[in-house]
Structure 1
Amino acid sequence: MITERAPAKINLALHVRQRRPDGYHDIETLFAFAADGDVVTVEGAARDRFAIVGPFAAGLDAEADNLVTRAARAFVEAFGIVAAHAITLDKRLPIASGIGGGSADAAATLRALARLHAVPLDDARLYRIAAALGADVPACLDGRTTLGTGKGDALVAIDGLAGTPLLLVNPGVAVSTAAVFRTWDGVDRGGIGEGDLLARARAGRNDLEPPALALAPVIGAVRAVLDAAPGVLLSRMSGSGATCFALFDEAGACAAAAAEARARGWWTLQTFLT
């Protein structure tokens, strides 16, 4: 059995530049990853099976088409694999929450299958499969801090902030990525600047936060709590929402903010950047 983590993805900054002819948007984003998230397990089997367990399993249908099963089908086709697989997704992250859950799950599935079948993780075919599955999947396959450009799949590694205490907070609402992009005002406010990673993130923004806030006003309440937390280095909404994140100067401050968020009935994940 092969077990792969599917860590939560956060966008330290997310600048939307323009809509592309292919329906995607040109963006500039600073991808970073948490130490925790979903978990995917893969093993050989007599027939293909897929099961979903975990706290957020009820929100997904194991019989429906999804990114995990699409990733598995694409892998066996690309590499000529004839074996069947039993795949289990332990769904620990909220669904439709802006932290790359589905993309991370697909990427973890590709990594697990590659390990099971002795395929090098830097095989270019894995990245071609990832890019075909979705804009965030290549970054999740890479699983490290990167600057993403184009539709988010042109990646350049960046150093900095590993080990920084991280708090994720979701108010319990799902936000449609497509709806958020449809609500975006279409204004190009410029790209991500230079400097060290924290400076670039602080000087940046998330262009999807205003349209997400219009769809889910509770995001503003989450941001207010995180912005006011002692020891916070940066607070922002991730992706298309509704999950927000905060980076802290030390773990105790992160724990105190997590307790404040939980007291309001919100989902929290206290972790750190890798």
Structure 2
Amino acid sequence: MTPAIFAPVKINLALHVGPLRADGYHPVDTLCVFPMIGDVISYEPEAQAGIDFGGTFGADLSNEDPQTNLLWRAFRLLDLEPQGRFFLQKETPIASGIGAGTADGVAAMLLLNEVLGLGFDARQLERRALGLGADGPVCMAGQIHGGGILRARGIGEKVEHLGRCEPKAIVLANPGVPVSTGAVFSRFDSDGPEPLEEVRITGRDVSLLQRANGNDLFQPAVSLAPEIADLLDVMTGQPGTETAAMSGSGATCFAIHASRASAVRATRDLQARGYWAESSFILPG
């Protein structure tokens, strides 16, 4: 059987961002959870080196140079020469603010570590995952812990697992508008941001955590893609919604629901309106 791994996307319950530092990075304080929604990566160690793509959004990646994909970067981060072939079943939108590309890269690192018997432990993998981007360590920790609530600080390298959470129902939806993370941060910088505000930790209820905080990139993202606000208005008004917000730099939004049934109904309604939408539950950790 071909070795395979599931790569859950990352949702920012809270995302506080500080002004640009002299080294070119933004300090962050963020709370993340991981829904049972994502991509699947498989690996053939004896096949010719490369990546094949399939799934709903696989065609969006099929013409790119494999060496630009974060799966390929997993080789370098584990001190390997490219060997074997990945297959990425891409079921999540591109450039959508839910860390899907990073999660795929993390999954590739975990798969290589297991299949090739490399022997890296969890802390080593978290540190090396920073090479995938600022959200690499928290995505790695989320996959290793099987979800739960995670906090990331610094530029993303300081990760803390805050414990398990209730596996609440969640809906993800995207308006079909790719949003450049760089453009969002540029708009954020142009607005003269305040010093970094620490997240408020009010317990382990994910709805309360979201409402007690916010996403500092929401207004910059909406100024570039007003469709995000339109989508969020729809999700907020759907029956059963406890809270709704944008994740990361957008454009994907999420809604925590009171029940799995209301989440399924909301998803069908969003799909009927032409949005990409999926529902599942939050991985408890």
Give the aligned partner of residue 249 of structure 2: 240
Residue 117 of structure 2: SS of its match in structure 1? Answer: coil
Contact 2:72–2:82, Cα closer than 8 Å, also in 1: no
Output the CA distance in 2 between the equivalents of 1:27 and 1:189.
7
Segments of 5+ residues of structure 2 without an aligned counterpart are none
Output the CA distance in 1 between the equivalents of 2:140 and 2:3.
16
Q: 1:125-159 CA distances to partner (integer Å, 9 max, x unpaired)?
A: 32232112211111111123201111122111123
Letter in 2 for 1:11: N
Q: Relative to 1, partners in 2 of residues 1:74 and 1:189: Cα closer, same or farther, differing over 3 Å?
A: closer
Segments of 5+ residues of structure 1 without an aligned counterpart are none
Contact 1:12–1:201, Cα closer than 8 Å, also in 2: yes
The answer to whether 1:157 aligns with 2:170 is: no
Give the aligned partner of residue 238 of structure 2: 229
Give the aligned partner of residue 215 of structure 1: 224
Deviation at 1:194, TM superposition (A): 2.7
> C-alpha root-mean-square deviation of aligned residues, in Å?
1.7
Letter in 1 for 2:158: A
Q: Relative to 1, partners in 2 of residues 1:83 and 1:200: Cα closer, same or farther, differing over 3 Å?
A: closer
Compare the two structures and name the one with the higher strand fraction. 1
Give the aligned partner of residue 30 of structure 2: 29
Contact 2:75–2:81, Cα closer than 8 Å, also in 1: no
The answer to whether 1:188 aligns with 2:195 is: yes
Total equivalences in the alignment: 270
Deviation at 1:190, TM superposition (A): 2.1
Contact 1:24–1:151, Cα closer than 8 Å, also in 2: yes
Deviation at 1:72, TM superposition (A): 2.1
Deviation at 1:120, TM superposition (A): 4.3
Q: Relative to 1, partners in 2 of residues 1:118 and 1:191: Cα closer, same or farther, differing over 3 Å?
A: same
Deviation at 1:12, TM superposition (A): 0.5
Mean CA deviation greater in 44-53 or 33-42:
44-53
Output the CA distance in 2 between the equivalents of 1:211 and 1:82.
40
Give the aligned partner of residue 97 of structure 2: 98
Residue 28 of structure 2: SS of its match in structure 1? Answer: strand
Give the aligned partner of residue 88 of structure 2: 89
Deviation at 1:264, TM superposition (A): 1.0
Q: 1:257 aligns with which of 256, 266, 269?
A: 266
The answer to whether 1:63 aligns with 2:62 is: no
Mean CA deviation greater in 12-21 or 211-220:
12-21
TM-score (norm 1): 0.93
Q: Relative to 1, partners in 2 of residues 1:267 and 1:121: Cα closer, same or farther, differing over 3 Å?
A: farther
Contact 2:10–2:35, Cα closer than 8 Å, also in 1: yes
Q: 1:201 aligns with which of 210, 213, 217?
A: 210
Contact 1:49–1:85, Cα closer than 8 Å, also in 2: yes
Output the CA distance in 2 between the equivalents of 1:126 and 1:160.
21
Give the aligned partner of residue 137 of structure 1: 136
Residue 45 of structure 2: SS of its match in structure 1? Answer: strand
Deviation at 1:47, TM superposition (A): 3.0
Residue 280 of structure 2: SS of its match in structure 1? Answer: strand
Output the CA distance in 2 between the equivalents of 1:173 and 1:148.
27
Residue 227 of structure 1: SS of its match in structure 2? Answer: helix
Give the aligned partner of residue 146 of structure 1: 150
TM-score (norm 2): 0.89
**What percentage of aligned pairs have identical amino acids?**
37
Q: Relative to 1, partners in 2 of residues 1:84 and 1:189: Cα closer, same or farther, differing over 3 Å?
A: closer
Letter in 2 for 1:254: A
Letter in 2 for 1:43: E
Letter in 1 for 2:25: Y
Contact 1:18–1:27, Cα closer than 8 Å, also in 2: no
Runs of 4+ in 1 over 4 A off after TM superposition: none
Give the aligned partner of residue 8 of structure 2: 7
Mean CA deviation greater in 230-239 or 183-192:
183-192
